[in-house]
Amino acid sequence: MVKNLVELRGLKVAFDGVQVLHGIDLDIARGEAIGLVGESGCGKSVTWLAALGLLPGKATVSGSVRVDGQEILAQPRHVLEGVRGKRIAMIFQDPSSSLNPVLRVGRQITEALAIHRGLHGEAAKAEALRLLDMVGIPDARRRIELFPHEFSGGQCQRVMIAMALAGEPDLLVADEPTTALDATIQAQILDLLIALRAETGMATIFISHDLGAVSQVCERACVMYAGRIVEQGTIQALFDNPRHPYTRGLFDAIPRLDGPRERLIPIPGTVPNPRDLPEGCAFSPRCSHAAIDCRTRMPALHSTDDGRLLSCHHPVGSHPPIGVTHPAEARVLEPLS
């Protein structure tokens, strides 16, 4: 058996000739929970839409996506259909975009059960009830007859998760599943994702712009910036000692609930337009640590001695890994605003 459940290699995406994803390498082990973080537009969603063949025709995708060792990128339809929904299921931020408004939710779940598991009739209905129960929809027997608009936002997200579970997937990709929800309901959904993973052993990819939410569910996270992974490591390592200035910026920007009232610590500027990426390190115009070489030389993603992946010429935090210039040796520039 191949060790990793899913392996992405050099995954690249361009829209109308503009490259937005610049080669993503990522291994997902069985049962693992990985977070994908970064500001909007950094390529988190596109990574998984591309891997699952869900991008529109104008997108050019290259690289490799292997599931249990089998290539699924640019393969005939039936190969992809055997994976999508069945081996890998994806849920989105906006449940209404994936639930059909004119079909009763029970019908939508039983259809998924027919496609992915060949269940029909009473067997499908019983399984649909079990799934709704599992995701915490009370009174499932009655609610199964209702339409999506008769559910609250948090409940729609639960129904979405039930549908995703219909194929008994090995990997659930949850794309900002809680961003539009109240903190109380967000906590419930995160709790549900944790419980389901413990119960079913499926791996989870959790996509979010909020490192706080990611650290609730995942052991490991990839930080993405401008279509690349810039740092990857355990949540604990990233949190205790962020090395990439962008990772540090994402943590610092989260306001604190405890402690005194404080000025917040933003990251200046915005994510660059993919048409117009800065030369050298794409983060350099916003980076408080940038030196002259950052504006000309693109840092490569390499593994460090503490077991993380990092792409930065002048990392912040402690223990500069061997082979990286110490920031003091380079002239530090003012960030462009």
Partner 1 sequence: MNEHFKTPLIEAKGLVRTYEVRQGMFGRATPVRAVDGIDLKVMPGETLGIVGESGSGKSTLGRMLLGIDPPQEGQALFEGKPMPKLATPEWRALRAKMQFVYQDPLAALDRRLTIAEQIGEPLAIHNLVPKPHRETRVAELMSAVGLRPDQAGRYPHELSGGQRQRAVIARALASRPKLLVCDEPVSALDVSIQAQVVNMLRDLQEKNHIAMVFISHDLKVVRNIADRVAVMYLGRIVEEASSDVIFKTPLHPYTKALVSSVPVPGKLLQGRVILQGEPPNPANRPSGCAFHPRCPLAADICRTSVPQLLSVADGRTAACHMVTRAEASVAA
Ligand X SMILES: Nc1ncnc2c1ncn2[C@@H]1O[C@H](COP(=O)(O)OP(=O)(O)O)[C@@H](O)[C@H]1O
Q: Considering only residues 281, 304, 308, 309, which one is a binding residue for ligand SF4 as defined by CB under 6 A?
A: 281
Q: Is 90 in the site for ligand SF4 (CB under 6 A)?
A: no
Q: Considering the complex, what minimum distance in angstroms separates the CB of residue 291 from ligand SF4?
A: 6
Q: What DSSP designation does 222 have?
A: E
Q: Is 53 in the site for ligand X (CB under 6 A)?
A: no
Cα 212 from Cα 203, distance rounded (Å): 20
The entry of partner 1, ligand X, ligand SF4, none that residue 312 binds, CB within 5 to 8 Å by partner kind: ligand SF4
Q: Considering only residues 5, 6, 11, 20, which one is a binding residue for ligand X as defined by CB under 6 A?
A: 20
The entry of partner 1, ligand SF4, ligand X, none that residue 283 binds, CB within 5 to 8 Å by partner kind: ligand SF4
Subset of 14-53 contacting Mg ion (CB under 5 A): 45
**Pick from 98, 16, 94, 23: which is nearest to 54 by CA?**
98
Q: Considering only residues 5, 45, 143, 161, which one is a binding residue for ligand X as defined by CB under 6 A?
A: 45
Torsion sign over Cα 96, 31, 83, 124: negative
- Helix, strand, or coil (residue 245): helix
Instruction: Return the number of the residue (44 or 220) whose C-beta is nearest ligand X.
Output: 44
Question: Degrees (nearest 5) of the Cα angle 66, 68, 70?
Answer: 50
Cα 278 from Cα 275, distance rounded (Å): 10
Contact 312, 323 (CB under 8 A): no
Q: Are strands 228-234 and 59-67 parallel, antiparallel or unpaired?
A: unpaired
Cα 295 from Cα 216, distance rounded (Å): 35
E strand or H helix that includes residue 207: strand 203-208
Per the listing, tokens 């794309």 go with 175
Q: Considering the complex, what minimum distance in angstroms separates the CB of residue 8 from ligand X?
A: 14
Subset of 232-291 contacting partner 1 (CB under 8 A): 235-236, 239-240, 249-251, 253-258, 260-268, 270-271
Cα 286 from Cα 303, distance rounded (Å): 24
Instruction: Return the number of the residue (69 or 269) whose C-beta is nearest partner 1.
Output: 269
Instruction: Return the number of the residue (15 or 147) whose C-beta is nearest ligand X.
Output: 15
Number of residues that bind partner 1 (CB under 8 A): 49
**Pick from 1, 3, 2, 6: which is nearest to 173 by CA?**
6
Q: Considering only residues 289, 304, 308, 309, which one is a binding residue for ligand SF4 as defined by CB under 6 A?
A: 289
Q: Is 177 in the site for ligand X (CB under 6 A)?
A: no
Subset of 306-335 contacting partner 1 (CB under 8 A): none
Q: Is 35 in the site for ligand X (CB under 6 A)?
A: no
Contact 98, 160 (CB under 8 A): yes
| Residues binding ligand X (CB under 6 A) | 15, 20, 38, 40-46, 56, 274
| Residues binding ligand SF4 (CB under 6 A) | 244-245, 281, 283-284, 287, 289-290, 294, 299, 312-314
